[in-house]
Each structure stands twice: as C-alpha cells, then as structure tokens.
Structure 1
Amino acid sequence: MHIMPSNLIDTDDVISSTAAWLDKAVIGLNLCPFAKAVQVKQQVRYVVSQAKTPEALLEDLERELELLAEANPEKIETTLLIHPLALNDFLDFNDFLDVADGMLEEMELDGILQVASFHPDYQFAGTEQDDIENYTNRSPYPTLHLLREESIDKAVEAFPEAEQIYEKNMETMRELGHEGWRRLFSKYEKK
C-alpha cells in the first residue's frame, strides 16, 4: 500500500528503496521473523512524510497513529512512516523517540501501539559507529515503525524463542560482515 504525497521528493524511489531493504535485510536475513507474513499479505502501509521539521513530523505521526489504531488489521497491520527530510542526524532522531512515546501516551494509545525505529546511522548504546551489529536497525531513510502491541504479543506466542532474536541478529550480522552487507544492496547503489 503506497501513499504518495506531493512531488517534493521522489516518493516512489523512497518506497522502493525501503521495500527492497525490508525484503533483502529484514526478511531476507530473517532479522524479524514476523515481517514476512505482513509483507506477503500486503498489510504494510508505506507512508513518505514530506516533513522537514520535527514538529511537522509529529503531526504526520499523530495522523498515522490514529489511522493505524482505527484500521482493520487485515488491511493495515503495521505502518512504516519514512521521513527522508527530517531528523537525518541520528542523535536528533533518537531524542525524537521520546517525543513519539509521549504522543502515544497523550493519545492514550500506549499499550495498544508502539513505535520502533530505523535510521541510516542507527547506533546501539555501547557500540562504535561502524560496528556491524548496528546494521540490524539501519534503513535507507529515517523511519518510524508503528506496530500493534496485540500483533507483537501474538507473534511472540508463535515464536517461543523471541527473546533470542536480538542475539541471533547480532550473530547474523557478524557472519555477514560489512562486505556482505554491501553486496546485499549493491544492486540498489547509484552508479
């Protein structure tokens, strides 16, 4: 499902790059064992925000949280709110996550929805910028992933070792290495 606002940026390209990342990295490397089913059923909503400021992005986030909360999960299970023009600095993006969580509470959606995060410069606490483990959360563009808590609970029930996903992902990334990551996406690099 694609939402393409005005022509400020090439939304088709942004969605295409994000979908390729989802297919090749998240699903292809099995970084999230729950992602394949919703992608195959076309229940992922891709939204490209034209926001250039955190304030404008917050408005888009509020709108998308409302829409996801009210939508039939059979139609829209999850939303990727991609914002290529806002919060390109990872530290600013990371700080914004507290604002996003505050929005969930303000809308009384905490415990119903949650916001996960992906960013081209994602860095886990206690790691170095170029550590391969950070790539589990590196997306082509800054992205807020809006999820249903109920769906997460069901997925965890169906996958009894869910708490081991993080460690398995770190091992997968170490085995793949930087060169393997580059090869995975070489088809999408601009010549």
Structure 2
Amino acid sequence: MSASNETVTAHTRLWLEKAVIGLNLCPFAKAPYVKGLVRISVSRAKHLDGFLEDLDRELQLIGSAPPEEIETTLLVHPDLFGDFLVFNDMLDLADQAVADNGLEGIIQIAPFHPDFRFEGTEADDITNYTNRSPYPTLHLIRESSISKATEAFPDAEAIFGRNMALLEEMGQQGWDALQIPRCPHHSESNE
C-alpha cells in the first residue's frame, strides 16, 4: 500500500529540513523554504504518460507563477519509479517536457531518488546521498534563482566537493542518525 499524499509530503519536508537545509547540502534552499515558496506536488499517475502530464502541469504552473508565489517545485511520485535506472531513463523525457513547454533557459530539473547513484560509484557509496530523497523526485528550479544564488555564493562549484567531504565524514551511520524516512518500495537491492 502506498503512503498517503500527506505522508509523502511530510517525509519530503523532513528530508528538506534535516538533509538539504540541515546539512546545508544546498545553501540556496533555506530562504525559499522558510518563506513558503517551495511547492511539493505528489503525483499519483499510474503510468509514465500520466506522470509526464503531471510534469507538464507543474511546469506550466511554475512557468506562469511569479517567484514570490512559487520559487521552486518538487514533483514527487512514491510508487512509479522504484528502479533508479528506469527513473534515470525518464530524465531525458523530463528535459524534453521543459523544452516542449517553452521553458528552456527558464526552468531546469534536478533529479533525486532513494537509490540515486552517480555514474562510476558503488550503490552503497555515501556520496550518492547528496541526491537521495525519500521518494523519486524532480526538482523544478528557476534558472533565475540559480543565477541569483551563484551571485550570492560565487564559489558554487565548491558546494559539490564540500557535500562529498561532509557525507564521507558522516558515513552511513551519521546519515542514518538523521532518521530520514525511506520509501519502502526502494532499496539498493533492486539495482
């Protein structure tokens, strides 16, 4: 049985608060989050086509809303993308949806998944956790927000290296201590 939309949203918020903001994995996340400008949308599509339609709706919404209302959107699907490789393959279609909605250069997508794995890493490599979320998630980010953030944080390239070092220092035990819920449909064993 799938988690309720409320549970999925609560788990996603907990991940944002404890990992993304709490560990400062993204120094730009706190301000829009505390201002209530982060939209979390849960998709219940039964198939990829339905999910892409949900993505189109979210892209149109963020594309037409002023940043003072919606700065960024997390589109979460708790059930459809249990296999990370299937999720990863879908990302080309998600990027095409950005173009199809006339939002290239305006919105970009960052992927998060419970079993996220950077190319060339082992499944249990702690550095993969920079992009691990409780559920498969597409982060729709305004490019203008990225530009403003990099102006405020000129050494944005260093964030990735800092995050890797932090997670290596924390180790799996440190991450587990955050008690971030993990979708029961996902585990490294499905890779």
The question of 1:43 aligning with 2:46 is answered no
The question of 1:98 aligning with 2:73 is answered no
Distance in 2 separating the partners of 1:172 and 1:121? 19
The letter for the 1-side match of 2:13 is: A
- 3-state SS, counterpart of residue 185 of structure 1: coil
TM-score (ref. length: structure 1): 0.92
Q: Give the equivalent residue in structure 1 for 2:72.
A: 78
The letter for the 1-side match of 2:131 is: N
**Counterpart pick for 1:29 among 14, 23, 27:** 23
Distance in 1 separating the partners of 2:45 and 2:182? 25
Say if 1:53 and 1:87, in contact at 8 Å, map to a contact too: no
Q: CA deviation at 1:106?
A: 1.5
The question of 1:144 aligning with 2:138 is answered yes
- 3-state SS, counterpart of residue 72 of structure 1: coil
Say if 1:26 and 1:35, in contact at 8 Å, map to a contact too: yes
The letter for the 2-side match of 1:169 is: N
Q: CA, structure 1 residues 23+99, in 2 after alignment: closer, same or farther (shift >3 Å)?
A: same
**Counterpart pick for 1:167 among 136, 139, 161:** 161
The letter for the 2-side match of 1:30 is: N
Q: Which has the higher contact order (CA 8 A, sep 6+)?
A: 2
Distance in 2 separating the partners of 1:153 and 1:173? 26
Distance in 1 separating the partners of 2:153 and 2:73? 22
Distance in 2 separating the partners of 1:110 and 1:16? 30
The letter for the 2-side match of 1:70 is: S
Q: Give the equivalent residue in structure 2 for 1:4.
A: none
The question of 1:63 aligning with 2:44 is answered no
Distance in 1 separating the partners of 2:30 and 2:170? 20
Distance in 2 separating the partners of 1:49 and 1:189? 17
Is there any run of 5+ residues in structure 1 with no aligned partner, and where? 1-7
Distance in 2 separating the partners of 1:90 and 1:45? 23
Q: Name segments (4+ residues, structure 1) moved above 4 Å.
A: none
Q: CA, structure 1 residues 121+166, in 2 after alignment: closer, same or farther (shift >3 Å)?
A: same
**Counterpart pick for 1:127 among 121, 130, 155:** 121
Say if 2:62 and 2:70, in contact at 8 Å, map to a contact too: yes
Q: CA deviation at 1:52?
A: 2.4
- 3-state SS, counterpart of residue 61 of structure 1: helix
Say if 1:47 and 1:80, in contact at 8 Å, map to a contact too: yes
When the two structures are aligned, how many residues end up with a matched partner? 182
Q: CA deviation at 1:87?
A: 1.4
Q: CA deviation at 1:54?
A: 1.2
TM-score (ref. length: structure 2): 0.92
Q: CA deviation at 1:9?
A: 4.5
The question of 1:14 aligning with 2:15 is answered no
